[in-house]
Amino acid sequence: MGEFELIRHYFAAASCAQGGEGVALGIGDDCALLAVPPGEQLAVSTDTLVAGVHFPDPCDPFLLGQRSLAVAVSDLAAMGATPFAFTLALTLPTVTADWLQAYARGLNQMAQACDVALVGGDTTRGPLSMTLTVFGRVPCGQALTRGGAQPGDWLCVGGELGNGAGALPLVLGQRTAEPDIAEPLLAHYWSPRPQIDLGLALRGKAGAAMDISDGLLADCGHIALASGVALHVERDRLPLSKALVAFLGRANAAHAALSGGDDYVLLFTLPSVRLMALQAEGWPIHVIGRVVAGQGVALLDSDGHDITPKIRGYQHFRETP
Ligand code: ADP
Ligand code: MG
């Protein structure tokens, strides 16, 4: 099958490639054309996933299709943007009908869950990798950035932490577990749910926001730096799933929550007057600490002692000291 036939058959024909709100022209020309209503801005983010680095190779292509789009859309959720379109640049070592069919099905399913249209891409031969660019809309001036945290704000997360990192030994086949432990952890790894609705609910309310992809402490560092504040994380407030604690034990589960990547849960700061109202509306908001004057990130035990670990999150290109 040639390049153009492959694009037509697996991607242009998918239901997620049939356009949608904001898509003036989709797949088939030299560019897609996207429309943003007056008074709104275009939010754009790109993510690359490389086989053997961001996912095991081989792996289930259906699950990979879901995951590759979910992690990209999570960045739009973190900005309080409404996702509406994406492109897919796919590099494949060989063309295998079964693999493409399953990948496109997983992608399509996540696209429908996130209400985004596939509007273009690129298809090349080489070591397996994919780059997804996602597009969202946000009213001018209302995007949630990393820079708005204020001393006195609560530090919050939108869900349980550590499940992505906890799932890794299962994903890599290094360990096994009973279904009641393995299933929720694997589901979290392979089909994370971008917190789009929470991002929209936080518009105009959160001080700073981002999604946790490199580990809680490392990502807190980004907010602290961008906002010019210090963040205090309280270890005993970290929301840990039952499955994670049963799988790793409490101490290792806390370690996964603090330093493991792949959570794709929102991390944000909230003025105290906003917290109760949002929780009363039913949003899954967990307070994990406080914003204070100063700089950097500290981890505190229940007595307020500083127990900050040295190693934080995953960084590509970081040399060992
Ligand atoms: P060009 O050579 O002009 O860059 P291509 O021949 O690479 O265009 O692609 C033809 C059309 O198919 C374009 O509209 C492009 O966006 C789309 N396309 C290519 N690869 C993919 C893909 N993997 N998924 C979705 N659309 C794709
Ligand atoms: Mg062209």
* 91-105: average pLDDT: 95
* 269-279: average pLDDT: 96
Q: pLDDT over 70 for what percent of the chain?
A: 97
* 156-177: average pLDDT: 96
Question: What phi and psi, each to the nearest 5 degrees, are found at residue 299?
Answer: -100, 130
Of 230-244, 251-265, 299-313, the poorest mean pLDDT is in 299-313
How is the chain split into domains, by residue range?
Answer: 3-139, 154-300
Q: Is the pLDDT of residue 320 over 60?
A: no
Q: Best mutation site among 48, 88, 123 for ligand 1, i.e. most ligand atoms within 8 A of its Cβ?
A: 123
Closest C-alpha to ligand 1, atom 13: 28
CA 102 distance to own-chain centroid: 22
What is the number of the ligand closest to the CA of 90?
1
- Residue 179 — very low, low, confident or very high, per pLDDT cuts 50/70/90? very high
SS (H, E, C) the chain: CCHHHHHHHHHHCCHHHCCCCCEEECECECCCEECCCCCEEEEEEEEEEEECCCECCCCCHHHHHHHHHHHHHHHHHHHCCEEEEEEEEEEECCCCHHHHHHHHHHHHHHHHHHCCEEEEEEEEECCCEEEEEEEEEEECCCCCCCCCCCCCCEEEECCCCCHHHHHHHHHCCCCCCCHHHHHHHHHHHHCCCCCHHHHHHHCCCCCCEEECCCCHHHHHHHHHHHHCCEEEEEHHHCCCCHHHHHHHCHHHHHHHHHHCCCCCCEEEEECHHHHHHHHHCCCCCEEEEEEECCCEEEEECCCCCECCCCCCCCCCCCCCC
Closest C-alpha to ligand 1, atom 7: 122
Q: Is 107 in the pocket of ligand 1 (CB under 6 A)?
A: no
Q: Which residues contact 270 (CB under 8 A, 6 or more apart)?
A: 153, 154, 156, 202, 205, 206, 207, 278, 285
Average pLDDT over the chain, rounded to whole? 95
pLDDT score recorded for residue 321: 45
- Residue 309 — very low, low, confident or very high, per pLDDT cuts 50/70/90? confident
* pTM for this entry: 0.94
Q: Is the pLDDT of residue 315 over 70?
A: no
Residues 137-162: pLDDT tens digits?
999 999 999 999 999 999 999 999 99
pLDDT score recorded for residue 319: 54
Provide the CATH topology of domain 154-300.
Answer: Phosphoribosyl-aminoimidazole Synthetase; Chain A, domain 2 (3.90.650)
Q: Is 5 in the pocket of ligand 1 (CB under 6 A)?
A: no
Q: Is the pLDDT of residue 245 over 90?
A: yes
Is CATH 3.30.1330.10 the right assignment for the domain spanning 3-139? Answer: yes
Q: Which atom of ligand 1 is nearest to the CA of 122?
A: 20
Q: Is the pLDDT of residue 270 over 80?
A: yes
In the reported structure, the alpha carbon of residue 129 is separated from the centroid of ligand 2 by a whole-number distance in angstroms of 21
pLDDT score recorded for residue 3: 82
- Residue 318 — very low, low, confident or very high, per pLDDT cuts 50/70/90? low
* 103-121: average pLDDT: 98
Q: pLDDT over 90 for what percent of the chain?
A: 93
Residues 9-58: pLDDT tens digits?
999 999 999 999 999 999 999 999 999 999 999 999 999 999 999 999 99
Neighbours of ion ligand 2 (CB under 5 A): 30
CA angle 112, 118, 122 (to 5 degrees): 145
